[in-house]
């Protein structure tokens, strides 16, 4: 539905978008994941029309979007700060776009009532934004965008301004709303948990480009680059190279895998897929237990390998004393080869 091709955007010396390609399907919940400076916010602003790209193309259902100003695009945006008009009450905020579109009278009233019902804000029509809680403000912002029935809704860090306790539930509500309205949602976030939990597909952005795109499970399980592996759930990345069919890593202290493609330059290992070896089992590699922290469900162990690299390991039982020499092992399937 939405196709972005080779988008370029410079701010002075900074290349915020560096030849970015992206295709969004209609009706999907898409998450753009990236750290600060990855270009995710710039991309959102380009999609909404607040920034014009220096080069590249952008089409929505075949229509060229670039010459269309923000006010004429069939795309709406929910701002990170919500940008609720402080001098208007909830109903007036929601009515704002409808008025601009010339929707009046009974239809306007019924659409406002319907969207208030949808987000669960009945009875708050006359409140001013200052009189609302954070969660209520978020829903007003959502309602104000949704009442326009956009084909595509952009959400800029929709949960960033909420209390931690509210985020999980709000996220699920957001997805339910997306399913109900059938609009495509593009959510920008720096929180990988949020992106993994809610999105149909995610794209990890790095330096103005898409580093990897796909369903959350796939991107999480099979990261293609060191950056993606580290960014999603802090996987261990061990550098090395293939020699005679074996993956040799100096920082781990020897050969730690085999049978990987010849151009493998590093491997990713998830912390939860590494286990300590018992006395009767040959370890993949050994190291010294540096530190252990109890986390409720499990322990987080930091193990310094012989080659100097440190390894994060999730462990389900009380760990040995810090300073002990331990062996660690993992299944063949846990090894993800990385090529960049």
Partner 1 sequence: MKPGRFVRAVMLAGFLFLWLPILLLVGFAFSADRIPFQWGGFSLRWFGALATNERLLEAAFLSLRIAAASASLAVLAGGGIAFALARFGPFRGRALFGGLIGAPLVLPEVVIGLSLLLFFVALEGLIGWPAGRGAFTILLAHAGFGAAYVAVVVQARLAEAERSLEEAAMDLGATPFVAFRTIALPLIAPALVAGWLLAFTLSLDDVVIASFVSGPAGTTLPIALFSMLRLGLTPEVNALGALVVLGVVSMLALALWLLGRRQG
Contact positions toward partner 1, by CB under 8 A? 48-50, 69-72, 75-77, 79, 81, 83, 85-87, 96-97, 100-101, 144-145, 148
Nearest distance, CB of residue 249 and partner 1, angstroms = 47
Nearest distance, CB of residue 68 and partner 1, angstroms = 12
Q: Are the beta carbons of 141 and 85 closer than 8 angstroms?
A: no
94 or 260, CB closer to partner 1?
94
Closest CA to 194 of 222, 224, 173, 225: 173
45 or 270, CB closer to partner 1?
45
Nearest distance, CB of residue 90 and partner 1, angstroms = 14
Q: Are the beta carbons of 209 and 40 closer than 8 angstroms?
A: no
19 token code pair: 């030849």
74 or 135, CB closer to partner 1?
74
Per the rule left: phi > 0, alpha: psi between -120 and 50, beta: everything else, 306 is alpha
Closest CA to 203 of 21, 31, 20: 31
Nearest distance, CB of residue 47 and partner 1, angstroms = 11
Nearest distance, CB of residue 76 and partner 1, angstroms = 6
97 or 307, CB closer to partner 1?
97
Cα–Cα distance list, 147 to 63, 74, 95, 150, 161 (Å): 23, 12, 8, 8, 22
CA dist 24 and 143 (Å) reads 23
Which ranges in 131-278 belong to alpha helices (H)?
134-146, 164-181, 192-198, 216-221, 226-231
Nearest distance, CB of residue 13 and partner 1, angstroms = 14
138 or 249, CB closer to partner 1?
138
94 or 235, CB closer to partner 1?
94
Strand order in the sheet with 299-305: 274-276, 325-330, 285-294, 299-305, 310-315
72 or 172, CB closer to partner 1?
72
Nearest distance, CB of residue 64 and partner 1, angstroms = 19
CA dist 66 and 8 (Å) reads 13
Beta strands 75-78 and 152-156 are parallel
């Amino acid at each position: 539905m939405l196709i972005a091709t080779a988008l370029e955007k410079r701010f002075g010396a900074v290349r915020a978008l560096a030849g970015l390609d992206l295709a969004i399907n209609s009706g999907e919940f898409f998450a753009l994941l990236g750290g600060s400076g990855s270009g995710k916010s710039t991309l959102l602003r380009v999609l909404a029309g607040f920034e014009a790209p220096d080069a590249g193309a952008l089409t929505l259902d075949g229509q060229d979007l670039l010459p269309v100003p923000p006010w004429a695009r069939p795309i709406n945006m929910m701002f990170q700060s919500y940008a609720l008009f402080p001098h208007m009450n909830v109903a007036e905020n929601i009515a704002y776009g409808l008025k601009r579109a010339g929707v009046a009278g009974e239809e306007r009233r019924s659409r406002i009532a319907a969207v208030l019902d949808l987000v669960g804000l009945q009875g708050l029509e006359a409140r001013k934004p200052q009189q609302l809680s954070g969660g209520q403000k978020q829903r007003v912002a959502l309602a104000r965008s949704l009442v326009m029935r956009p084909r595509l809704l952009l959400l800029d860090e929709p949960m960033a301004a909420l209390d931690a306790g509210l985020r999980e539930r709000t996220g699920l509500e957001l997805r339910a709303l997306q399913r109900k309205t059938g609009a495509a949602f593009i959510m920008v976030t720096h929180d990988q948990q949020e992106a993994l939990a809610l999105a149909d597909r995610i794209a990890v952005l790095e330096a103005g480009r898409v580093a990897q795109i796909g369903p959350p499970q796939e991107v999480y399980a099979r990261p293609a680059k060191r950056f993606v592996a580290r960014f999603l759930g802090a996987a261990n990345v061990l550098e090395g190279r293939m020699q005679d069919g074996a993956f040799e890593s100096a920082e781990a202290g020897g050969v730690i895998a085999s049978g990987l493609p010849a151009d493998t330059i590093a491997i990713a290992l998830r912390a939860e897929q590494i286990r300590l070896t018992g006395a009767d089992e040959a370890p993949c590699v050994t190291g010294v237990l540096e530190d252990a922290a109890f986390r409720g469900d499990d322990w987080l162990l930091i193990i310094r390998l012989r080659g100097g690299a440190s390894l994060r390991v999730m462990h389900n039982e009380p760990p040995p004393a810090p300073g002990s020499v331990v062996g660690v092992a993992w299944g063949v399937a846990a090894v993800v080869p990385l090529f960049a």
